[in-house]
């Protein structure tokens, strides 16, 4: 479907490109499209809302369009209708309004869940359950005089008190809210941030930068032991592209811009960054930098650390940035690498110069079926060896492949039925493929039409050597869709006693298989030992390839009926799974970061000397721990 | 303490054990031929794609692990890699098994006949079999039987075949290959052959370990080997050897398998086929080279009654659970896994602890026959005793053994006297009743014998008998060490008694299975048992003998007396006769003739000091205690003796010098 054609005028490509993006993501809203805003922030202008600001897909009042106790847009969610069929509401996504007849069977079969057994969330946020803000009056007074907008409205605070870890969402659904930021500030530009940081230092206020709120490492959680007033610094209003440099193919962007807006705005000029983390609808540029994010298409565009050319960050010590935009420098350790992955502990990233690329002319999905996971991994390894990985290549295990089927819509012109196709195939081609072992790789190619087609052939030829058979574009596309709706699916599960989460790692090639098997088995075993009554879903995919290894992504979910403290059990199992990952040569994290969730393993991960290095940087930049979210160290 | 987790203190009596089924019963009632040709469809390891023995070989030869070593060897020796590869292939050829069902069926038939002739029953705990079957599906399984007889591995395969379980591949010593035909038969029934020593041969080691690991990783078949390394000639468990255990655990350490199940198997014989052969061997008659004709001669064995045999499959022990908190598996993260790494100290200690734990599990589930108790008592009155007295004492000992947790096979509802006399009749080659007295049988030549010959013949009887007593030693060992410490220490303070206990334990740690580092637990266990049977009382900081404890304590001290005396004689030899240039080869004959001299002069009554096993163990203990030093010169190994130190060890053993205080906070 994704053919764009040969036309070369930028505008037309851009239009097409938008449709492509909308294709695997959502339907575009009717809102007007903002342009590039190439002007300086009017420092101290005293207006709360510069009138030349492009509208942002996520408003300041997040509660207006987003769920307070779940993932994403309030109007989009899965539910089981009266007939017991799965359905996805809203109008934003390709699945929106469609009926998913196989979802129920898969759901009940996989988890031993039952649509009769519901575990509904409390209907709305009980604001009286939230502790009143403890404000630092002097700070508030001085802040007022700067004209930077702020709020201590309860909903505003609760929205910025969490990310999307299971325990965070589970508590919210239960109506429990822990320590919240005492107020939220919305700087409009770099200079606003400088002022806020100065005031915070002056009045001893704790600052926690907030980007898109998609953290899955407890990074946004307020440390309960914090006694100072906590201010959430919401970067969402710093969302302009300040300039585009077509000669050097770079764009200078404010760090609060969220992924979908950044792509949309660049697309209008015929460009893209190509950085597409699965959370790109909501996560922000600053968040990516702060967590060392990774995008689906990193094989062409690189991860965030490959994309940044220049970073500006405001710290309690002052502003840190490099003096030029040279593409590579030998000037001692790269200071960008203190910033990348700093997780809001050192300061606020305010502006970033990023590499941009012309929008690719042509895009094509694909998929390959392998007789088993082992063969699939061998194929991906070969692809990596030959350095011919497509924009994205992901290998799903058998469970995930079946999971994908559960999302097959009833009537669909876009989705041909994989299973039906498979049955047909099965007789003719797949003979000897065991449906309980086969697994599927999904592919996304991008570039010149000609080259894409050549590239495609090359990859399919390699796949054939490992027993892989091409299985069509639709299956590929559906695989990618799955990763965009998975967070919505978790909300559905939680309505029926099913909780789950994903986690990831990176690991050398030779250990991929062993790690996948051992971690999945460890999960199953730990669940049993911890008294989980039903076998869990424990599945993985190899989601990125590198020269020397791969990124592996796990989904883990189980039915918690009969458990008195399901979240605790969940956390114990996840902990054990992480131990298993580390024991099998996997890393602490490939892209989700450390936050507070994985902090306990930092020392063994980077050695105590390494930890000391990071601490001394923290001590220098932020001796009073103004950026006191206590992540990482 | 590191081993705390592995040896939690518990009352051995509370152990629950499974019931037995006699597998020969069905054999006696149905066709052996049909049995040999029965449909055999074992459940397999869930991850297994079955492959042929030949495929297995090529997998090993192409493995990264082996290729790495081949390249290394080639670089070091200057030989081309092809030459080294050929060498590796030849090693593998010599080593590899060629397991095939046909041969198994042949054995199933012939062994059925043989076992029925030899044994009254072969009893197996079926619950153990069920657990094993479950375990085999889940994770690679390593079978670890005790080793008392050549029969052991034939019997293991026979049982697994009977229960439709996957047949094991078995690590066997190369000496079998001496018997051409038998060797190849064993090979085809799953045995693979390892040279007894290949010290520095890197290539051999690589082929061997990769061969075993490949089978394990794939779950090709259960892997069976003997932790004790060789058949125990004394029927005491031997100190475990760690080489193979290391190899089978490594795939778990390196994450190549999720877990490995270790299954201890206790094989107890009422009469071991090799009984008197062993005694002669220990006394220095060279072991007959394993030869086919030798084994065929064994045919006459078939006419004898070897009583019953018990095989107990213990619950699988998960290496993963044992390693939890003890092994940091990420230590292997920084080197490619195909590059062999010397195991860290942490790992070595762990493997060693596991090995001891397994041997102790083997011991715990060894079945003790009434005759073992009879033999134990007879040895304490070598000159013979009144039958009635024996009956009385046996019944007393039975109760004591039970109280200490022995796994006794004592028939219900049968008077003790009947039990005793029927075991005497089964062992009439060892004990005879004349009139109202019972005594050891001493076989002698028809004509006159020299004093040496007489001594030798007597020693054969004593050592044969001792091989039965040894089967119950593990039950009494810890309390006996304590009893001995009580009589040696000139004090009743717990601290002093413990240090005496600890010393004895240390001295005897080659002789008996005493897990390293578990001294405190052992002491606690010993105290617990002796208090329980009313032999001692614990008063504040003191351990005192109870009035009623005399019998138990003297029995226990007498039980270890031969070892104590034996070690003292070895010390005395070293002190009085050892020259500056005592070589390794001279040691055993020299000690033996020293002991013979003492015997003939009438100053020594103990026969067990004539056993080369005891002599070696004593020497090893002295080396461990730094009293004797091993010095390797060009061609030979010399022992350098510190005579003053030997003297003090000897005195301490005799209780003449109190052991040095070792203050332990825990006490
Ligand atoms: C469904 C889902 C899919 C995901 N998929 C991906 C994926 O494909 N790839 C990937 O890399 N991650 C993924 N994530 C994780 C998450 O989206 C990333 O960590 C993302 O980079 C966080 O960005 P954010 O703007 O939401 O940051 P937030 O969640 O708001 O904050 C994350 C951390 O960064 C700090 N921070 C935020 N902005 C700034 C700033 N401007 N300056 C300094 N510190 C700041 C915060 O204090 C916090 O510690 C996913 C998460 C979810 C829930």
Listed by number, the residues of chain B in 197-256 with a beta carbon closer than 8 Å to a beta carbon of chain A are 255-256
Q: Please state the φ and ψ torsions of residue A320, each to the nearest 5 degrees.
A: -110, 130
The DSSP line for B456-514 is HHHHHHHHHHHHHHGGGHHHHHHHHHHHHHHHHSS--BHHHHHHHHHHHHHHTTTTS--
Does residue B548 sit within a domain? yes
The Cα-based distances of B250 to B167, B210, B214 in angstroms read 22, 11, 11
Nearest CB to A514; choose among B255, B328, B330: B255
CA distance A180 to B256: 45
Q: Which residues contact residue A333 at a Cβ distance below 8 angstroms, ignoring those fewer than 6 apart?
A: none
B265 and B331 co-located in one domain: yes
Tens-place pLDDT, residues B179-233: 778 888 889 999 999 987 777 889 999 999 999 999 999 989 999 999 998 889 9
Q: What is the mean pLDDT of residues A507-531?
A: 97
Q: Is A341 in the pocket of ligand 1 (CB under 6 A)?
A: no
- The per-residue pLDDT for A52 is 56
Question: Above 80 in pLDDT, residue A22?
Answer: no
Our CA-based measurement puts residue B333 at a distance from the nearest CA of chain A, in whole angstroms, of 5
C-beta separation of B332 from B341 below 8 A: yes
Whole-angstrom distance between the N-terminal and C-terminal Cα of chain B?
14
C-beta separation of B426 from B305 below 8 A: yes
Question: Above 60 in pLDDT, residue B14?
Answer: no
> Residue B540, Cβ neighbours under 10 Å: how many?
6
C-beta separation of A283 from A211 below 8 A: yes
B196 and B256 co-located in one domain: yes
- The per-residue pLDDT for A256 is 97
CA distance A445 to A368: 13
Q: Is A290 in the pocket of ligand 1 (CB under 6 A)?
A: yes
Q: Which of B344, B364, B384 is the last residue of a domain?
A: B364
Question: Above 90 in pLDDT, residue B93?
Answer: yes
Q: Is A349 in the pocket of ligand 1 (CB under 6 A)?
A: yes
A558 — pLDDT class (breaks 50, 70, 90) = very high
Is A583's CB within 8 Å of B329's CB?
Answer: yes
Q: Tell me, what CATH number does B333's domain have?
A: 3.40.1130
CA distance B155 to B147: 11
B258 and B133 co-located in one domain: yes
Q: Is A543 in the pocket of ligand 1 (CB under 6 A)?
A: no
Q: Are strands A318-320 and A308-315 parallel, antiparallel or unpaired?
A: antiparallel
Nearest CB to B256; choose among A514, A582, A583: A514
Nearest CB to A584; choose among B255, B328, B336: B255
- The per-residue pLDDT for B5 is 38
Name the residue of A287, A295, A482 to mutate for ligand 1: max ligand atoms within 8 A of Cβ: A287
Q: Which of B412, B437, B472 is the last residue of a domain?
A: B472
Q: Is A294 in the pocket of ligand 1 (CB under 6 A)?
A: yes
Is A583's CB within 8 Å of B330's CB?
Answer: yes
Q: Which of B438, B472, B506 is the last residue of a domain?
A: B472
B587 and B445 co-located in one domain: no
B357 and B376 co-located in one domain: no
Length of chain B equals 667
The three state secondary structure string of B394-429 is: HHHHHHHHHHCCCCECCCCCCCHHHHHHHHHHHCCC
Q: Which residues contact residue B199 at a Cβ distance below 8 angstroms, ignoring those fewer than 6 apart?
A: none
Question: Does A218 belong to an annotated binding site?
Answer: no
Q: Please state the φ and ψ torsions of residue B310, each to the nearest 5 degrees.
A: -125, 135
Q: Which of B644, B613, B606, B610 is nearest to B627 (CA)?
A: B644
Of A521, A584, A603, which to mutate for an interface test with B (greatest number of B Cβ within 10 Å)? A584
Our CA-based measurement puts residue A194 at a distance from the nearest CA of chain B, in whole angstroms, of 43
- The per-residue pLDDT for A525 is 96
C-beta separation of B207 from B60 below 8 A: yes
The DSSP line for B587-636 is HHHHHHHHHHHHHHTTS---SGGG-HHHHHHHHHHHHHTTSEEEEE-SS-
Q: Please state the φ and ψ torsions of residue A181, each to the nearest 5 degrees.
A: -60, 150
C-beta separation of B35 from B552 below 8 A: no
Q: Which two tokens stand for residue B205?
A: 């080691």
Of A76-85, A410-419, A598-607, give the lowest mean pLDDT range. Answer: A410-419
Question: Above 60 in pLDDT, residue A417?
Answer: no
Question: Above 80 in pLDDT, residue A232?
Answer: yes
Does residue B46 sit within a domain? no
B243 and B296 co-located in one domain: yes
Q: Is A218 in the pocket of ligand 1 (CB under 6 A)?
A: no
CA distance A250 to B58: 55
Cα A409 to chain centroid, rounded: 25
- The per-residue pLDDT for A475 is 83
Tens-place pLDDT, residues B428-455: 889 989 889 998 888 766 667 788 888 8
B240 and B199 co-located in one domain: yes
> Residue B213, Cβ neighbours under 10 Å: how many?
22
Q: What is the mean pLDDT of residues B414-423?
A: 91
Question: Above 80 in pLDDT, residue A612?
Answer: yes
CA distance B99 to B186: 9
The three state secondary structure string of A472-541 is: CHHHHHHHHHHHHHHHHHHHHHHHCCEEEEEEEEEEEHHHHHHHHHHHHHHHHHHHHHCCCCCCCEEEEE
Question: Above 90 in pLDDT, residue A23?
Answer: no
Q: How many domains does chain B have?
A: 3
Ligand 1 atom with the smallest distance to the CA of A349 is: 42
Q: What is the mean pLDDT of residues B497-526?
A: 94
Please name the helix (run of DSSP H) or strand (run of DSSP E) that holds residue A301, with its range, or none: helix A298-301
Question: Above 70 in pLDDT, residue A236?
Answer: yes
CA distance A456 to A446: 10
Q: Are strands B223-224 and B141-145 parallel, antiparallel or unpaired?
A: parallel
CA distance A351 to A313: 7
CA distance A47 to A146: 9
Question: What is the maximal distance between C-alpha atoms in chain B?
Answer: 77
Closest residue CA from atom 3 of ligand 1: A279
Q: What is the mean pLDDT of residues A577-595?
A: 98
Ligand 1 atom with the smallest distance to the CA of A294 is: 11
Mean predicted lDDT score pLDDT of chain B: 89
B201 and B336 co-located in one domain: yes
B617 and B579 co-located in one domain: yes
CA distance A238 to A194: 13
Coil, helix or strand for B215?
Answer: helix
| Burial group, residue B512, by CB count within 10 angstroms (0-12, 13-18, 19+) | buried
Contacts of B333 in chain A (CB under 8 A): 585
Does residue B77 sit within a domain? no
Whole-angstrom distance between the N-terminal and C-terminal Cα of chain A?
47
- The per-residue pLDDT for B15 is 63
- The per-residue pLDDT for A551 is 98
Does residue B306 sit within a domain? yes
B266 forms beta bridges with B312
Domain span holding position B635: 492-667
B439 and B330 co-located in one domain: no
Measure B256 CA to ligand 1 centroid, in angstroms: 34
B115 and B169 co-located in one domain: yes
Q: What is the mean pLDDT of residues B311-327?
A: 96
Q: Which of A276, A274, A271, A277 is nearest to A248 (CA)?
A: A271
Tens-place pLDDT, residues A257-316: 999 999 999 999 999 999 999 999 999 999 999 999 999 999 999 999 999 999 999 999
Measure A620 CA to ligand 1 centroid, in angstroms: 25
- The per-residue pLDDT for B662 is 37
Q: Which residues contact residue B342 at a Cβ distance below 8 angstroms, ignoring those fewer than 6 apart?
A: none
DSSP A284: B
Of A181-190, A340-349, B18-27, give the lowest mean pLDDT range. Answer: B18-27
Q: Which residues contact residue A190 at a Cβ distance below 8 angstroms, ignoring those fewer than 6 apart?
A: A41, A238, A254, A312, A314, A350, A351
Q: Which of A360, A310, A527, A259 is nearest to A16 (CA)?
A: A360
Is B258's CB within 8 Å of A518's CB?
Answer: yes
Q: What is the mean pLDDT of residues B241-245?
A: 93
The Cα-based distances of B274 to A279, B107, B235, B302, B372 in angstroms read 73, 21, 11, 12, 16
C-beta separation of B460 from B443 below 8 A: yes
Measure B425 CA to ligand 1 centroid, in angstroms: 83
- The per-residue pLDDT for A119 is 95
Question: Which chain B residue has its CA at the smallest distance from A519's CA?
Answer: B258
B220 and B119 co-located in one domain: yes
Does residue B355 sit within a domain? yes
C-beta separation of A159 from A62 below 8 A: yes
C-beta separation of B541 from B493 below 8 A: yes
Does residue B83 sit within a domain? no
Identify each DSSP E strand in A531-587 by its residue range.
537-545, 549-559
Q: Which two tokens stand for residue A602?
A: 């930092």
C-beta separation of B374 from B394 below 8 A: yes
Q: Please state the φ and ψ torsions of residue A302, each to the nearest 5 degrees.
A: 90, 165
Question: Above 70 in pLDDT, residue B526?
Answer: yes
Does residue B69 sit within a domain? no
CA distance A414 to A416: 6
> Residue A147, Cβ neighbours under 10 Å: how many?
14
Give the CA radius of gyration of chain A.
Answer: 24
- The per-residue pLDDT for A145 is 96
pTM of the complete model: 0.90
Does residue B562 sit within a domain? yes
Rounded to two decimals, the ipTM of the complex is: 0.87
Determine whether A497 is an active site residue: no
């Amino acid at each position: 479907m994704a053919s764009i054609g040969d036309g070369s005028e930028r505008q037309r490509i851009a239009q097409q490109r938008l449709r492509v993006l909308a294709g695997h993501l959502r339907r575009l809203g009717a809102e007007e499209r903002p342009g590039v805003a190439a002007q300086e922030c009017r420092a101290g202008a005293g207006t709360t809302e510069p009138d030349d600001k492009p509208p942002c897909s996520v408003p300041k009042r997040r509660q207006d369009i987003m769920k307070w106790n779940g993932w994403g847009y309030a109007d989009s969610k899965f539910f089981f209708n009266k007939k017991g069929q799965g359905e996805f509401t809203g109008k934003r996504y390709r699945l929106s309004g469609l009926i998913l007849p196989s979802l129920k069977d898969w759901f009940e079969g996989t988890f031993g869940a039952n649509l009769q057994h519901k575990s509904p969330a409390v209907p709305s946020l009980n604001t009286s359950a939230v502790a009143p803000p403890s404000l630092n009056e002097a700070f508030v007074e001085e802040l007022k005089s700067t004209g930077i907008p702020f709020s201590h409205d309860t909903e505003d605070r609760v929205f910025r008190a969490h990310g999307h870890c299971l325990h965070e969402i589970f508590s919210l659904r239960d109506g429990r809210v822990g320590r919240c930021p005492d107020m939220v500030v919305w700087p409009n530009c770099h200079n606003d941030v400088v002022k806020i940081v100065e005031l915070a230092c002056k009045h001893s206020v704790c600052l926690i930068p907030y980007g898109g709120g998609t953290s899955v490492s407890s990074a946004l959680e307020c440390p309960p032991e914090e006694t100072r007033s906590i201010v959430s610094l919401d970067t969402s209003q710093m969302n302009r592209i300040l300039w585009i440099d077509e000669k050097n193919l770079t764009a200078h962007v404010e760090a609060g811009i969220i992924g979908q807006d950044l792509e949309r705005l660049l697309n209008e000029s015929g460009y893209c960054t190509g950085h597409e983390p699965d959370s790109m609808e909501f996560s922000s540029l600053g968040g990516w930098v702060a967590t060392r994010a990774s995008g689906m298409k990193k094989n062409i565009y690189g991860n965030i650390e490959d994309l940044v050319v220049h970073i500006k960050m405001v710290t309690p010590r002052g502003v840190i940035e490099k003096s030029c935009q040279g593409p590579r420098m030998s000037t001692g350790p790269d200071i960008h690498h203190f910033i990348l992955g700093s997780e809001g502990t050192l300061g606020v990233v305010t502006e970033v110069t990023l590499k941009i690329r012309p929008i690719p002319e042509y895009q094509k999905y694909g998929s390959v079926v392998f007789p088993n996971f082992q063969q699939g991994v061998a194929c991906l390894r070969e692809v990596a060896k030959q350095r011919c990985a497509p924009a994205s290549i992901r290998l799903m295990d058998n469970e995930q492949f079946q999971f994908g089927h559960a999302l097959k819509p009833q009537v669909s012109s876009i989705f041909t039925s994989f299973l039906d196709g498979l049955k047909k195939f099965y007789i003719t081609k797949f003979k000897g493929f065991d449906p309980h072992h086969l697994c599927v790789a999904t592919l996304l190619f991008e570039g010149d039409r000609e080259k894409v087609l050549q590239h495609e052939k090359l990859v399919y030829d390699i796949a054939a050597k490992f027993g892989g058979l091409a299985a069509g574009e639709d299956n590929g596309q559906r695989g990618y869709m799955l990763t965009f709706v998975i967070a919505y699916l978790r909300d559905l599960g939680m309505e029926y006693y099913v909780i789950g989460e994903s986690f990831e790692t990176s690991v050398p090639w030779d250990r991929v298989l062993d790690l996948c098997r051992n971690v999945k088995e460890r999960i199953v075993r730990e669940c049993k030992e911890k008294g989980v009554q039903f076998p869990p879903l424990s599945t993985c995919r190899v989601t990125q390839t590198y020269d020397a290894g791969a990124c592996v992504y796990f989904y883990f979910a189980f039915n918690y009926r009969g458990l008195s403290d399901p979240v605790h059990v969940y956390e114990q199992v996840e902990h054990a799974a992480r131990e298993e990952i580390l024991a099998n040569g996997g890393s602490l994290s490939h892209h989700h970061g450390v936050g507070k969730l994985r902090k306990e393993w930092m020392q063994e991960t980077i050695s105590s000397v390494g930890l000391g290095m990071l601490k001394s940087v923290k001590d220098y930049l932020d001796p009073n721990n103004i950026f006191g979210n206590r992540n990482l160290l | 303490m590191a081993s705390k987790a592995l040896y939690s203190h518990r009352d051995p009596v509370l152990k629950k054990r499974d019931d037995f089924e006699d597998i020969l019963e069905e054999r006696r009632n149905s066709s052996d031929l049909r049995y040999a040709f029965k449909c055999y469809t074992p459940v397999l390891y869930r991850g297994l794609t079955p492959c042929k023995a030949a495929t297995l070989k090529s997998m090993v030869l192409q493995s990264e692990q082996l290729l790495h070593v081949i390249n290394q060897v080639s670089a070091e020796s200057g030989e081309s890699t092809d030459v080294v590869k050929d060498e590796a292939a030849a090693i593998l050829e010599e080593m590899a098994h060629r397991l095939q069902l046909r041969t198994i069926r042949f054995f199933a038939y012939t062994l059925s006949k043989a076992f029925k002739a030899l044994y009254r029953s072969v009893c197996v705990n079926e619950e153990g079999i069920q657990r094993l079957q479950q375990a085999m599906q889940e994770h690679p399984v390593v079978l670890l039987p005790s080793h008392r007889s050549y029969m052991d591995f034939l019997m293991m395969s026979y049982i697994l075949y009977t229960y439709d379980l996957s047949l094991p591949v078995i690590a066997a010593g190369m000496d079998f290959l001496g018997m051409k035909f038998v060797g190849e038969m064993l090979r085809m029934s799953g045995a693979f052959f390892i040279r007894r020593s290949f010290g520095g041969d890197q290539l051999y080691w690589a082929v061997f370990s990769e061969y075993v690991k490949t089978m394990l990783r794939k779950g090709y078949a259960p892997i069976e080997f003997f932790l004790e390394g060789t058949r125990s000639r004394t029927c005491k468990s031997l100190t475990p050897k760690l080489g193979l255990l290391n190899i089978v655990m490594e795939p778990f350490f390196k994450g190549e398998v999720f877990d490995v199940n270790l299954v201890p198997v206790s094989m107890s014989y009422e009469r071991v086929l090799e009984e008197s052969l062993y005694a002669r061997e220990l006394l220095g008659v060279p072991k007959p080279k394993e030869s086919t004709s030798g084994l065929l001669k064994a045919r006459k064995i078939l006419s004898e009654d070897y009583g019953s045999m018990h095989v107990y499959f213990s619950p699988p022990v998960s290496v993963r659970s044992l390693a939890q908190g003890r092994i940091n598996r990420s230590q292997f993260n920084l080197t490619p896994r195909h590059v062999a790494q010397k195991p860290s100290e942490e790992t070595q200690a762990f493997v060693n602890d596991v090995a001891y734990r397994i041997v102790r599990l083997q011991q715990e589930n060894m079945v003790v026959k009434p005759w073992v108790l009879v033999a134990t008592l007879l040895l304490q009155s070598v000159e013979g005793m009144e039958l009635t007295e024996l009956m009385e004492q046996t019944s007393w000992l039975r109760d004591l053994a039970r109280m200490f947790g022995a796994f006794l096979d004592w028939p219900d509802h049968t008077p003790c006297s009947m039990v005793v006399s029927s075991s005497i009749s089964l062992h009439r080659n060892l004990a005879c009743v004349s009139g109202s007295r019972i005594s050891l049988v001493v076989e002698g030549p028809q004509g006159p014998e020299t004093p040496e010959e007489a001594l030798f013949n007597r020693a054969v009887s004593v050592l044969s008998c001792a091989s039965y007593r040894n089967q119950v030693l593990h039950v009494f060992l810890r309390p006996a060490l304590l009893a001995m410490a009580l009589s040696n220490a000139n004090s009743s303070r717990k601290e002093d008694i413990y240090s005496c206990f600890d010393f004895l334990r240390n001295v005897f740690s080659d002789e008996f299975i005493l897990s390293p580092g578990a001294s405190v637990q052992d002491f606690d266990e010993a105290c617990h048992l002796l208090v329980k049977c009313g032999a001692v009382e614990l008063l504040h900081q003191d351990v005192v003998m109870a009035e009623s404890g005399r019998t138990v304590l003297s029995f226990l001290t007498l039980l270890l007396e031969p070892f104590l005396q034996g070690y003292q004689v070895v010390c005395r030899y070293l002190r009085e006769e050892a020259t500056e240039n005592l070589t390794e080869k001279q040691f055993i004959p020299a000690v033996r003739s020293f002991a013979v001299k003492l015997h003939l002069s009438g100053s020594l009554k103990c026969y067990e000091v004539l056993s080369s096993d005891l002599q070696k163990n004593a020497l090893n203990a002295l080396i461990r205690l730094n009293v004797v030093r091993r010095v390797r010169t060009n061609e030979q190994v010399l022992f350098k003796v510190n005579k003053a130190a030997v003297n003090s060890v000897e005195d301490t053993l005799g209780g003449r010098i109190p052991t040095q205080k070792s203050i332990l906070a825990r006490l």
